[in-house]
Amino acid sequence: MCTVCLLTSALMMFTPAGDEVKPAQVSVAQETQGAIVEMVEDLPKSSDTTLLRQGLLTLHSRLGTTKNDTQAQNVINNELSALSQRLTNSPHAEEVTELLEDMLIEDEPEPEPLVKGVKYAPNKPQAKTNNWGWLR
């Protein structure tokens, strides 16, 4: 996945869903600034993430100067593209990419069987039996 896509996806993960937004209309800039603050707080403090952290904080400050949603979206697109380029050229590019991917992948528990007591093992071969509907 490209770095811009990872950055955009990670920001979207921290952006509240439409039903969480207060009745007063929240601008794209304000919404994204909130997501950036949460994302930066979740970043580990290491030399690998310094460039990412600085880029996100630059984007945060640039969004503070926008006057409308269109201008804010242009700033987001431009800053994320520039940040992506800097990250790609960085010696820590692989570590940052893995970090962003890890932020996006949630560990989901295995689904419980619909009927209690029934074990399902998708990779285990089933014993050969004659099956006629419900009869075995």
Answer yes or no: is 129 within a domain.
no
Answer yes or no: is 128 within a domain.
no
Answer yes or no: is 15 within a domain.
yes
Reported as a single tens digit per residue, the pLDDT across 31-57 is 999 999 998 998 888 888 999 999 999
For residue 30, give the amino acid letter.
Answer: Q
- Domain holding 18, by residue range, is 3-104
Reported as a single tens digit per residue, the pLDDT across 54-100 is 999 999 999 999 999 999 999 999 999 999 999 999 998 899 888 88
Answer yes or no: is 126 within a domain.
no
Which whole number is the average pLDDT over 115-121?
A: 57
Answer yes or no: is 43 within a domain.
yes
Answer yes or no: is 37 within a domain.
yes
The Cα-based distances of 45 to 5, 54, 85, 90, 92 in angstroms read 23, 12, 21, 17, 14
Answer yes or no: is 123 within a domain.
no
- CA-to-CA distance for 45 and 79, rounded, in angstroms? 22
pLDDT band at 127 (very low <50, low <70, confident <90, very high): low
Instruction: Report the domain count for the chain.
Output: 1
What is the CA angle 76-82-88, rounded to 5? 130
